[in-house]
Structure 1
Amino acid sequence: MTRLRFTLLIGALLAGLLVSMTFAVMVGSVGITPSIIWEVLFSKIGLPVEATASKAQNIIIWEIRLPRIILAAIVGAALAISGAAIQALVRNPIADPYILGVSSGASVGATMVILLGAFSFLGTYALSFAAFLGAILAVVIVFLLARVNGRTSVIRLLLAGIAISMVFSAITNFMLMTSKQQGGIQAVMHWMLGSLAGAKWSTIGIPFFTFLLVFLLLLLNYRQLNALLLGEELATTLGINLDRFRIFIILVVSLLTGVVVASSGSIGFVGLIIPHLVRMIVGSNYKFVLPISALMGAVFLVWADMVARMAIAPEEMPIGIITAVCGGPFFIWMLRRRRYSFGDGE
């Protein structure tokens, strides 16, 4: 891919993300014009503008809609780059960020808070903390099971991830089955399908800076990710310490995915389909795949969240249903394409 084409694509996606976020702020039970949105935004960052927005419009835009839409963009970008990194790690086109048990571990933590009142002393942060703790615990167990004689096998990693996901899912289901709190059960199911309804400015900082850190770390190691696609033998001949690099990828992806799941619940298919779509457009060079995946993931989830808010208004549909409805057919179509194979950019 040429540098000019890459620059144009980045510019188009950035413009698309900006337009998508503006449109997403406009949509809702209270209609708001773009001029009011940008007026409120400029006034909040200290730029001199003529104040025409009402107090209610200020609150709706700044306190309710904008944090949610920014979190959607962060979560979409984070899941997309995590999926791209995991697919390179295991050289498997159907791998996603949840393959290490992150989602099922987070679900156990969230269920314990909602149904059993665990970590109640943390107040509004209890759910996020417990979900993150459960996600990291699952990854640690998977990693320890996959490590034999000081080495980490990709096959053992995948099998351990499947096994631990089943165990943690069984724990979650047991708590749901034995609970008599109908409202709590519904809240758990809603969380497990993904929701950005709880987004606030105070909850955006950690996901944003974690995403930024992991994105930069992965981008700095794009050559190693490219080498992983070529096979273990060639990667070793290029001087890459495979075991150490695998541990690095597992750690940073698990950290990012755990933080994201703690903020938004489990949102499927983003980390699975976006990297595929990107490779079809730009090829398999991770120097291009990572930034394009981040932007496409952000745009995709902003629109998915918008549809989730509008589909059954005034109720809200879990965003995971929207991503599954979009992602499932796309993935089936991709599998039916005879020319497509992992990493060839076709």
Structure 2
Amino acid sequence: MRKYLPLMTLLLVSLLSLFIGVHNITIDGILHGDSQQLMMLNKVRLPRTISLILAGGMVSISGKVMQHMMQNKFVSAGTIGMMDSARLGILVAMLFFPASTILLKSTFAFIFAFISSLTFLALSRLLPKGDEMILPLAGIMYGNIIGSVAIFFAYQFQIIQNLSSWLQGNFSTIMKGQYELIYLTVPVFIALYLMAYKITVLGLGDEVAASLGMNYKLIQLIVLVLVSLGSSSVLIMVGSIPFLGIIIPNLVSILYGDHLKNTLNLTWIFGSIFLVVCDILSRTLIAPYEIPVSVIVGSLGGAMFIFFLLRRMRR
């Protein structure tokens, strides 16, 4: 029973998410075929809940994979400049292709995120070893520099408001027909799951990988492509979700250990649960108004991040 508890919890909070909001949806109304409630469920609540599950899972496993690959518990797509670079890519698309589609913006976001991750990976080899906080701190500074460049040009070309919509995680605008790009996270997760053993070997270094007959650089490149693709698709659909890629992998590690293949699916489930719960709070705390979910995630995630940091320092 304990084995299926996370999945049952996810199902429970997902069902709860379907019935919480400004517009009232009831089981009785659904069973009796109320057209307005059915339309709200189909066009808004169901797409929103699916997006929460996919986004929470993708951000969490992206962090888990990066942590294994770089052997650092405080690394994630948000702490190596990947998300800031993806936003810069969105800005470039908006400047040079004002009428660009979501697909084109996501392509630019992916390309910039991927190039940035390669750049930071090269820079990380120059950093001193020994203190695991050096890498994420350097990544945050690297990301802030890129983010500052994006904000500067956004102000220069007077599109800061448009860019700001990509900075804050928010699921209130998710509707049927406008969120389907986030389904890219499903094949990305499957690919990462199938590569779990190779990703574990990557964390042991290029010499170990070579001794096992693996092409270290090629596998590393494929993993970065997958993480960049998954992370940029989440960013383009719902915005940035802080701390999630750090706290959930660390929580799963404490509860279930560090074996990547055994915990990758649990990381997805726990990430989805956490994000769905935060979104429910965002809809209920000041109802009928709504708080951006990134504010809730940032508050709870920040507190948990400090806890994990202090726990690590006491060892």
Q: Give the aligned partner of residue 344 of structure 1.
A: none
Match of 1:165 in 2: 143
Partner of 1:23: 16
Gapped regions of structure 1 (runs ≥ 5): 40-51, 342-346
Structure 2 residue aligned with 1:45 = none
Residues 61-70 or 96-105, more deviating: 96-105
Q: CA deviation at 1:286?
A: 1.0
Q: CA deviation at 1:77?
A: 0.7
Q: Does 1:237 align with 2:211?
A: yes
Confirm or deny: 8 A CA contact 1:226 1:284 kept in the other structure.
no
CA distance in 1, matches of 2:17, 2:39: 16
SS at match of 2:166: helix
Q: Which amino acid aligns with 2:254?
A: M
Counterpart of 2:125 in structure 1 is 155
Q: Deviation string for 1:81-130 (max 9, x for gaps)?
A: 1111111111111101234433212323445677x6x63434xx44x632
Match of 2:167 in 1: 192
Tell me, yes or no, if the aligned pair for 2:256 and 2:263 is still in contact at 8 Å.
Answer: yes
Task: Quote the offset at 1:153 in angstroms.
Answer: 7.2
Deviations 1:162-197 (A, max 9, x none): 57633431223214544667xx63x54353121122
Q: From 250, 262, 266, give the equivalent of 1:292.
A: 266
**Separation (CA, whole Å) in 1 of partners of 2:178 and 2:295:** 23
Residue type of the alignment partner of 2:310 = R
What is the rounded CA distance, in whole Å, between the counterparts of 1:101 and 1:137 in structure 2?
10
Residues 131 and 223 of structure 1: is their aligned pair in 2 closer, same or farther, counting only changes over 3 Å?
closer
Q: 1:168 to 1:135 in 2, by over 3 A?
A: farther
| Alpha-carbon spacing, 1:321–1:139, altered in 2? closer, same or farther (3 Å) | same
Q: Which 4+ stretches in 1 moved above 6 angstroms?
A: 157-160
**Distance in 1 between the 2:104 and 2:283 partners?**
26
**What is the rounded CA distance, in whole Å, between the counterparts of 2:279 and 2:209 in structure 1?**
39
Per the alignment, residue 130 of structure 2 pairs with none
Paired with 1:325 and 1:226, the residues of 2 have a C-alpha distance of 31
Displacement of 1:56 = 1.6
Query: Who is 2:38 aligned against?
Result: 58
Q: Which moved more, 1:195-204 or 1:272-281?
A: 195-204
1:319 offset after TM fit, Å?
Answer: 1.5
Kindly report the root-mean-square deviation, in angstroms, between the aligned alpha carbons of the 2 structures. 3.0
Counterpart contact for 1:146–1:156, Cα < 8 Å: no
Match of 1:265 among 217, 227, 239: 239
Q: Which amino acid aligns with 1:155?
A: R
| Number of equivalent positions | 307
- AA aligned to 2:114 is V
Q: CA deviation at 1:324?
A: 1.1
Could you tell which deviates more after superposition, 71-80 or 190-199?
190-199
Q: Distance in 2 between matches of 1:257 and 1:65?
A: 23
In structure 2, distance between residues paired with 1:277 and 1:119: 41
Q: Note the 1:1-346 alignment, pairs <5 A.
A: 8-9=2-3, 11-36=4-29, 39=31, 52-111=32-91, 119-122=97-100, 125-126=101-102, 129-143=104-118, 145=119, 154-155=124-125, 165-178=143-156, 185=161, 188-208=163-183, 210-337=184-311
Contact 2:82 2:116 in 1 (8 A): no
Letter in 2 for 1:276: N
Q: Distance in 2 between matches of 1:107 and 1:252?
A: 18
Change (3 A) 1:338 1:259: closer
User: Residue type of the partner of 2:125?
Assistant: I
Distance in 1, matches of 2:120 and 2:22, equals: 50
Q: Quick one: distance in 2 between partners of 1:232 and 1:250?
A: 16
Measured in 2, the distance between the counterparts of 1:65 and 1:27 equals 9
Instruction: Give, as a single letter, the amino acid of the residue that structure 2 aligns with 1:189.
Output: S
Report the Cα offset of residue 332 of structure 1: 1.2
| Bigger radius of gyration | 1
Percent identity over the alignment? 27
TM-score (norm 2): 0.84
Cα distance in structure 1, aligned partners of 2:87 and 2:226: 20
